[in-house]
């Protein structure tokens, strides 16, 4: 088993959706929680050994991949994802006690959250200005600090309501002016726990594997060729995200999630195939799925099928039949 981390970083402050992911992570119990102001800082702290692991958002059902996380994992010293958590995302409009909806002139929140409440805002607060903040919880924190008189030095905050998680409003003693203001019901954010390389979580039958694939430069139709490595072994892909390699416009790598564990035979063979034809394959871990959904194994792609095929190969290589 992966040892239980003692110090856990996360994208803070308290009240962020990431802090809620940490609440939902069973192994976090009893660990010391260390908030960081950005994904980069949270990930750097793992690399530096300041924390044992760190929780960061990777994908949102409305806003898509979280670039900062994808890039932080794809570049720099190797790290491994050792688990994932799904957190339902629900937003409230929170303000200091006594603020009515009609009083709100400016709204502070993180840009990803803003993107998910634009419809509600256009319908209910068409004249309000948007003020970007570092996180949804930071917006709530700013308002709460004013509330408590701690913000004297910096003067009046530039917004009078925050879009944040219900928990962040409670934490910072704000009043909920409106709740359920997300444009999509059922929105979910997926978080991953990231650690330095070490023993992988054991296969559970309901696992996911994450890799980053870099194509060789001189290769047209390359993505098709990569996907065929999965298809030839009956492997199902659950996420594909292209990210710039940052070398030049149009140069992309692919961040990919596939069903199964790297110790599954079909995944091992497919990853070897990709390793051969790619410029680079960065393995980012195999870990239990948050939804516990067991992998759909294509016909003739189970470990037993691979073992039978290998036994047969040994026989025929020895001249047997």
Query: Which parts of 87-146 interact with a second copy (CB under 8 A)?
Result: 111, 115, 118, 130, 132-134
Q: Which residues contact 305 (CB under 8 A, 6 or more apart)?
A: none
DSSP state of 309: H
User: Scanning residues 160 to 199, which ones bind a second copy (CB under 8 A)?
Assistant: 184, 186, 188, 190, 197-199
Query: Does residue 86 belong to the site contacting a second copy (CB under 8 A)?
Result: yes
User: Scanning residues 197 to 226, which ones bind a second copy (CB under 8 A)?
Assistant: 197-200, 220-221, 223-224
Q: What DSSP line would sit under 212-264, residue for residue?
A: EEEE-TT-TTHHHHHHHHHHTTTPPEEEEEEEE-SSSTT-EEEEEEEES-TTS
Query: Does residue 48 belong to the site contacting a second copy (CB under 8 A)?
Result: no
Which is nearer to a second copy, 32 or 216 (by Cβ)? 216
How many whole angstroms separate alpha carbon 289 and alpha carbon 73?
Answer: 19
- Among the listed residues 23, 63, 175, 303, the single contact to a second copy using CB under 8 A: 63
The tokens 């629900």 sit on which residue? 90
Least gap, CB of 39 to a second copy (angstroms): 10
Least gap, CB of 111 to a second copy (angstroms): 6
Q: How far is CA 111 from CA 28, 107, 134, 239, 256, in A?
A: 28, 11, 8, 23, 25
Q: Tell whether omega for the bond before 13 is within 30 degrees of 0, i.e. cis.
A: yes
Using CB under 8 A, which of the segments 50-58, 144-152, 165-173, 266-274 binds a second copy?
A: 266-274
Least gap, CB of 36 to a second copy (angstroms): 13
User: Scanning residues 288 to 317, which ones bind a second copy (CB under 8 A)?
Assistant: 296, 300-301, 305-306, 308-310, 312-313, 316-317
Which is nearer to a second copy, 23 or 183 (by Cβ)? 183
Q: Which residues contact 248 (CB under 8 A, 6 or more apart)?
A: none
The tokens 């890799």 sit on which residue? 211
Query: Does residue 27 belong to the site contacting a second copy (CB under 8 A)?
Result: no
């Amino acid at each position: 088993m992966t040892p239980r981390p003692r110090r856990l970083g996360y994208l803070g402050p308290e009240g962020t959706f990431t802090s809620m992911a940490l609440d939902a992570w069973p192994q976090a119990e009893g660990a010391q929680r260390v908030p960081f102001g950005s994904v980069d800082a949270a990930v750097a702290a793992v690399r530096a050994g300041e924390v044992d692991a760190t929780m960061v958002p990777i994908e949102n059902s409305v806003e898509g991949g979280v670039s900062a996380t994808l890039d932080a994992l794809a570049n720099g010293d190797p790290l491994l994802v050792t688990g994932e958590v799904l957190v339902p995302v629900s937003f409230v409009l929170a303000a200091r006690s006594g603020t009515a909806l009609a009083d709100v002139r400016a709204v502070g929140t993180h840009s990803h959250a803003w993107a998910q409440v634009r419809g509600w805002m256009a319908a209910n607060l068409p004249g309000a200005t948007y003020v970007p903040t570092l996180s949804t919880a930071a917006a709530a924190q700013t308002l709460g600090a004013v509330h408590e008189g701690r913000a004297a030095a910096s003067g009046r905050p530039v917004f009078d309501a925050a879009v944040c998680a219900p928990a962040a409003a409670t934490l910072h003693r704000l009043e909920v002016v409106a709740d359920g203001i997300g444009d999509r019901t059922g929105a979910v954010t997926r978080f991953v726990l990231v650690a330095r390389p070490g023993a992988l979580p054991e296969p559970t039958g309901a696992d996911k594997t994450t890799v980053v694939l870099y194509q060789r430069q001189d290769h047209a139709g390359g993505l098709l060729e990569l996907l065929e490595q999965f298809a030839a072994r009956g492997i199902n892909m659950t996420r594909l995200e292209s990210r710039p390699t940052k070398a030049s416009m149009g140069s992309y790598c692919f961040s990919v999630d596939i069903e199964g564990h790297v110790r599954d035979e079909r995944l091992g063979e497919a990853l070897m195939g990709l390793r051969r034809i790619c410029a680079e394959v960065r393995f980012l871990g195999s870990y239990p799925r948050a939804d516990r959904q067991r992998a759909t194994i294509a016909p003739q792609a189970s470990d037993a099928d691979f073992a039978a095929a290998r036994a047969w190969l040994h026989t025929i290589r020895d001249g047997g039949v």
